[in-house]
Amino acid sequence: MNARKMLAGAFIVMLGMGMTSFKEDDRNFQISKNLDIFNSIFKELDMFYVDTVNAEKMIQTGVEGMLSLTDPYTEYYPEEEVSSLKEMTTGKYGGIGAAIRYYEAKDRIAVVEPTEGMPAAEAGVKAGDIILSVGGKEMVRGDMKPQEFSSKVSEALRGEPGTSFVLKVLRPLKNDSTVMEFKITRKNIRTNPVPYYGMVKDSIGYLALSSFTENSAKDFKKAFIELKQKGAKSLIIDLRDNGGGSLSEAVEIVNLYVPKGQEIVVTKGKVRQAQGSYKTQNEPVDTQIPLAVLVNGATASASEIVSGSLQDLDRAVVIGSRTFGKGLVQTIRPLPYNGTLKVTTSKYYIPSGRCIQAIDYAKKNADGSVARTPDSLTTVFHTAAGREVRDGGGIRPDIEVKGDKIPNIVFYLMNDDLIFDYATQYCWDHPTLASVDDFKLTDADYEAFKKLVKSRNFTYDRQSEKMLKSLKEIAEFEGYMTEAAEEFKALEKKLNHNLDRDLDYFAKPIKEYISQEIVTRYFYQRGAAMERLKDDTDLEEAIKVLQNPVRYREILSAPVKKDEPVKKEKEETKK
């Protein structure tokens, strides 16, 4: 009987192995079959379709369709685009150091911001300059889309360090415009991951990090040590709008504040190469200094590793709004003909054991859309001290600060280049600014801006009018319009487009964006960061917490259970 059972058991195991093997063989057959079908369809189209097909474009479209079934971070880079991927990961490229974009008013490309200390800025190129030609070749759009045109000009401006060319621009002046030429020598450009750091209050240091590119941890460490030398006894780390980058750079930054040998990130994927553990490798700089980390909805990826790890280890108070929720890791894979595939290979888990990925791209809706994981389906994890934290949906701040939403009118003022053009106009009348601290946009300045807006016959899309129109259509369809006609008329009157009113009502946020644009013209990214801090509710909350050691410790401590005081009283009674 036992022998019969053993034989039956062995048969079941072998059958199971056989079924697994069968499934794998079937999958391999399906892959081979469909690749053969794809190849055959293209050959038939290329040979028999009535018009000549664009082979590269057709196959590229097929690749894009295939990748659309994965996640937005899995991307194919053909040979001519690999340099942009390299720039994204290293922060380096050969060029002149200037941000550019399409400028609709002139149907040309405009310089948005030269980088401080780089060839464009040193040659005298300014924000607002309209690019006419690069190296004698005129830069005109033709039938290109604006994005394609921008890419073309960007490619022309870049090149091998040490090569020179003549840049011809049209510079708008107060009463006229003038054509100017600059001889510029390209050099290795590296975007600065630490745009600003300094003391913000008494002995509180502030350090902004904009990206996690190659060697960003070294730049961060250098800035931190300088702040300590200036007397910083606590630190605010600003990771707002930081979209992430290198995982290893993030671990190095966490290492500045936690002991050597601490596991920060664990990655888990389908293949062995995608699985790993990242621990701190060096002796920390300071394990005691109080930390506050500022985050928002654009804080993602490596930024979430830093903020989430410091939260899980009870090493920093996280302040702001919930982060983006990107818990995925990408790996670079080489392809034939010098192409590259950036592919998501694993998920990462921070010290508490949680993965903060907000969207499950494997569960797409029929229309291809995806939704964030609802809070009700997230799981509770615990920090080192026992505080509750959750997975899925990004990092939830210890102190949530609700930021003001950008009004609709600001978006359209920026989109129509009105804020950009006013900043150019402002620079005509103010050749220099003494300092960022002394700058203030006056009421007279804002009146001049309003005058410019009105002179351009500015209009913008009002969401309230759109919604009211939709509501009227629904009410009419459902038969309520006759009874509600008077109410709709009253509402239409109240929601009537009034530009003067809106410019006054939204003056505060509009002034903030104008001020940042103006200050950037004189003091670059450093100045823009300083200007943003002048009225910053997240920063103010961080300062309050760091100035209150008792509250700081309470936030980072495990919550006291309700029955703990009772137990203590019973113990004292026994004594």
The catalytic site residues sit at 301, 312, 326
C-alpha angle 477/480/486, rounded to 5°? 125
The DSSP secondary-structure symbol of 338 reads G
Are the CB atoms for 294 and 302 separated by under 8 Å?
no
Are the CB atoms for 516 and 528 separated by under 8 Å?
yes
User: What is the DSSP pairing of strand 164-172 with strand 130-134?
Assistant: antiparallel
Q: CA 310 to CA 351: how far, in whole Å?
A: 9
Are the CB atoms for 164 and 185 separated by under 8 Å?
yes
Q: To which H or E segment does residue 493 belong?
A: helix 481-494
Q: CA 87 to CA 155: how far, in whole Å?
A: 13
Question: How many residues does this entry show for the chain?
Answer: 575
Q: Which residues contact 458 (CB under 8 A, 6 or more apart)?
A: 412, 413, 416, 418, 499
Q: Which residues contact 160 (CB under 8 A, 6 or more apart)?
A: 94, 186
Q: Which residues contact 247 (CB under 8 A, 6 or more apart)?
A: 265, 267, 278, 302, 305, 329, 348
Q: Which residues contact 232 (CB under 8 A, 6 or more apart)?
A: 199, 203, 204, 205, 289
Amino acid at position 44, single letter = E
Are the CB atoms for 427 and 523 separated by under 8 Å?
no
Spacing of C-alpha 61 from chain mean position: 26
Instruction: List Cα–Cα distances, 190 to 117, 214, 332, in angstroms.
Output: 11, 10, 21
User: What is the DSSP pairing of strand 177-185 with strand 164-172?
Assistant: antiparallel
Are the CB atoms for 355 and 347 separated by under 8 Å?
yes
Residue 240: strand, helix, or coil:
coil
| CA dihedral sign of residues 114, 116, 118, 122 | positive
Q: C-alpha dihedral over 522, 119, 213, 308, to 10 degrees?
A: 0
Q: CA 339 to CA 333: how far, in whole Å?
A: 9
Q: What are phi and psi of 419, to 5 degrees?
A: -70, -40
